[in-house]
């Protein structure tokens, strides 16, 4: 058996190989991750990536995979390549047998009567589900500080934010508490946490992964996607969860391309890679900008052609997003009213009518950011303002799409920093909603246009030693290009660093390596 310190640091692809070769069992791997969660996730200075740990079910699934492998024969041969590889699931995605909170008090203790389609697909692939990960309440935030269950901490520096909304999934993967996780991305909630935690995150083409069972924030922007430590692992997981689903009316009928093959292409020669003029430079931290230019150099050396493109309408993208997203959210969250599920709070005095019960329930159940967005969305949709706000924002969406269309006539893939800064301190932007919203300035255009985006680690910023993310964007339905370019850039960067970026992350207290050191 492999030492558990090494075991949890294997990529999902490496672990899958060892499982298939019989060098390690799924129960050993799953237990190693559960032990790691027990060591680093809880307590005052814990990572707090998990809201629920699903040990019993995960071990049962692992044991089932091990038994099938041990028995051999056709059932063993037909096991999915990721069978027995554990995974964590963002707590916005519903699961039978585990609570789903969406990071909100209004759903505390609620159990879904059905599984999300992506969860059904994980189960079909026999991947043990380790638990549910923390997030900003209803995925509204860029720091995971808006969770009703306390913030998640960044494994690179426990006093800093892990990004958001999917800070739990990204931190779990970065802290070696899981090899893989699922996230959701409405304006950057997979990619920006990936950037600030030194992990890989992918927002697939809108409609290419089913949203059935993802608690909706903004239905025309939301997309489920992979959160991993390597580009290849994202491709493997993307292939598990992607593909048509009749239960999601926005699901694309297209067949999924071979994303794993794309990740294994191994060259970018002759590919045109476009720098988006508006998505770097002013407003971006110097260390972010430096690492961005390093990546451009490496791609150029590898034979890619670097071109510059301009997307002038991206300047309106953030504003349009903060009209469209709250509008859709205010409508989607109307269902949390204390009638069919979740919390019900009775008014302290006065007549006990359903209207007043709803008002008291939503007042007590929702946090400040959720209330802010519901009120903003209600405003943007109200009579007299609809055309000026929601209507105009939808037109900007068309302009952003046109900018992308024009850019993709001269470039095969676009590139930018994923986020303007590295991870900031917990509490630093909590009282300034607008400053918080600016974190998503580079990720939002992809959601407005429905195009796919991938963030991968680009190194550490000179001034603070914290991870910087590089974002790749491709035309809709061309997710494969992200994996092709992403995997090449990752291998060039890792050659330069002498290993994965996460190998440079500080050891967390209570980690096996540290204990050994202390024992010596």
Which residues are annotated as catalytic?
90, 165, 189
Binder among 398, 409, 516, 517 for other proteins (CB under 8 A): 398
| 53's tokens | 């740990």
What SS3 class is residue 414? Answer: strand
Separation of alpha carbons 470 and 368, rounded Å: 31
> Shortest Cβ distance from residue 332 to other proteins (Å)?
12
Counting contacts by CB under 8 A, is residue 222 touching other proteins? no
- 405 near other proteins, rule: CB under 8 A: no
State the nearest-atom distance from the C-beta of 374 to other proteins, in Å: 5
Q: How far is the CB of 55 from other proteins (least distance, A)?
A: 23
State how beta strands 129-133 and 200-203 pair. unpaired
Cα-Cα-Cα-Cα torsion 94, 217, 136, 251, nearest 10 degrees, comes to 50
Residues 435-454 binding other proteins (CB under 8 A) are 437, 447-451
Q: Which of 504, 500, 502 is nearest to 491 (CA)?
A: 500
Can you tell me which of 22, 246, 281, 506 binds other proteins, judged by CB under 8 A? 246
Give dist(CA 218, CA 376) in Å, integer.
13
Burial of 100 (0-12, 13-18, 19+ CB in 10 A): buried
Q: Is residue 123 near other proteins by the rule CB under 8 A? A: no
Q: 68 or 449, CB closer to other proteins?
A: 449
Nearest 5 degrees, angle CA 361-CA 327-CA 213?
70
Q: What 8-state DSSP symbol labels residue 478?
A: -
Listed ranges 112-120, 168-176, 189-197, 409-417: which one lies at the site for other proteins (CB under 8 A): 112-120
Is the Cβ–Cβ distance between 336 and 342 less than 8 Å? yes
> Rounded distance, CA 343 to CA 105, Å?
8
- Applying the rule CB under 8 A, the residues between 292 and 321 that interact with other proteins are 313, 315-316, 318-320
- For position 103 contacting other proteins by CB under 8 A, the verdict is no
Q: Which is nearer to other proteins, 334 or 509 (CB)?
A: 334
Q: Distance between CA 420 and CA 442 in Å, rounded? A: 7
Q: Do 61 and 52 touch, CB atoms closer than 8 A?
A: no
Rounded to the nearest whole angstrom, what is the least distance from the CB of residue 47 to other proteins in the complex? Answer: 29
Total residues contacting other proteins by CB under 8 A comes to 77
Which residues, numbered 331-350, are part of the site for other proteins (CB under 8 A)?
334, 337-344, 346-347
In 231-346, alpha helices (H): 231-241, 259-263, 286-301, 317-332
Q: Judged by CB under 8 A, which of 175, 311, 396, 413 binds other proteins?
A: 396
Minimum gap (Å) between residue 396 Cβ and other proteins:
5
**Residues 40, 59: contact at Cβ < 8 Å?**
no
Interaction with other proteins in 456-485: which residues (CB under 8 A)? 476
Taking the C-alpha atoms of residue 266 and residue 261, their distance in angstroms, rounded to an integer, is: 10
State the alpha helices, DSSP H only, in 78-166: 117-124
Q: How far is the CB of 64 from other proteins (least distance, A)?
A: 24
Is there binding between residue 216 and other proteins (CB under 8 A)? no
Among 33, 176, 284, 322, binds other proteins (CB under 8 A): 322
Span of 73-81, 143-151, 299-307, 365-373 interacting with other proteins by CB under 8 A: 365-373
Establish if 70 lies at the interface with other proteins (CB under 8 A).
no
Among 8, 216, 276, 393, binds other proteins (CB under 8 A): 393
């Amino acid at each position: 058996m492999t030492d558990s310190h090494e075991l949890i640091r294997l990529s999902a692809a490496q672990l899958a190989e060892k499982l298939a070769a019989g060098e390690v069992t799924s129960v050993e791997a799953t237990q190693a991750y559960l032990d790691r969660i027990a060591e680093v996730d809880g307590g005052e200075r814990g990572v707090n990536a998990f809201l629920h740990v699903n040990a019993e079910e995960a071990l049962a699934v692992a044991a089932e995979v091990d038994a099938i492998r041990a028995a051999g024969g056709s059932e063993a041969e037909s096991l999915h390549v990721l069978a027995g590889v554990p995974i964590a699931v963002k707590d916005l995605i519903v699961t039978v047998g585990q609570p789903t909170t969406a990071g909100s008090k209004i759903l505390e203790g609620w159990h879904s009567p059905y599984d999300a389609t992506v969860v059904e697909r994980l189960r079909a692939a026999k991947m043990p589900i380790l638990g549910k990960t923390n997030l900003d309440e209803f995925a509204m935030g860029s720091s995971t500080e808006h969770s009703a269950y306390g913030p998640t901490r960044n494994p690179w520096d426990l006093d800093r934010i892990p990004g958001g909304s999917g800070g739990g999934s990204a931190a779990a993967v970065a802290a070696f508490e899981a090899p893989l996780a699922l996230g959701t991305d409405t304006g950057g909630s997979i990619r920006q946490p990936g950037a600030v935690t030194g992990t890989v995150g992918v927002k697939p083409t809108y409609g290419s992964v089913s949203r059935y069972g993802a608690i909706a924030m903004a239905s025309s922007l939301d997309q489920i996607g992979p959160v991993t430590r390597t580009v290849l692992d994202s491709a493997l997981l993307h292939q598990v969860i992607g593909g048509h689903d009749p239960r999601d009316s926005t699901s694309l009928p297209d067949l999924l391309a071979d994303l794993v093959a794309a990740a294994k292409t191994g060259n970018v020669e002759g590919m045109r890679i476009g720098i988006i003029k508006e998505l770097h430079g002013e407003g971006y931290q110097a260390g972010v900008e430096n690492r961005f230019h390093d990546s451009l150099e490496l791609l150029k050396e590898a034979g890619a052609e670097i071109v510059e493109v301009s997307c002038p309408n991206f300047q309106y993208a953030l504003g349009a997003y903060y009209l469209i997203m709250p509008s859709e959210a205010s409508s989607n969250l109307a269902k949390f009213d204390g009638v069919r599920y979740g919390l019900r709070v009775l008014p302290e005095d006065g007549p006990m009518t359903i209207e007043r019960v709803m008002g008291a329930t939503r007042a007590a159940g929702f946090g400040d950011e959720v209330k802010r967005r519901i009120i903003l969305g209600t405003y943007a949709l109200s009579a007299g303002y609809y055309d000026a706000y929601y209507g105009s924002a939808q037109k900007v969406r068309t302009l952003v799409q046109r900018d992308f269309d024009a850019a993709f006539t001269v470039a095969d893939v676009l590139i930018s920093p994923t986020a303007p800064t590295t991870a900031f301190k917990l509490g630093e932007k909590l009282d300034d909603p607008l400053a918080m919203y600016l974190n998503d300035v580079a990720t939002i255009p992809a959601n407005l246009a429905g195009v796919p985006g991938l963030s991968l680690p680009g190194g550490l910023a000179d001034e603070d030693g914290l991870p910087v993310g590089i974002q790749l964007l491709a035309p809709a339905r061309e997710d494969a290009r992200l994996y092709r370019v992403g995997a090449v850039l990752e291998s060039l960067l890792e050659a330069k660093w002498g290993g994965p970026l996460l190998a440079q992350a500080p050891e967390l207290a209570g980690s096996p390596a540290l204990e050994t050191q202390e024992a010596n």
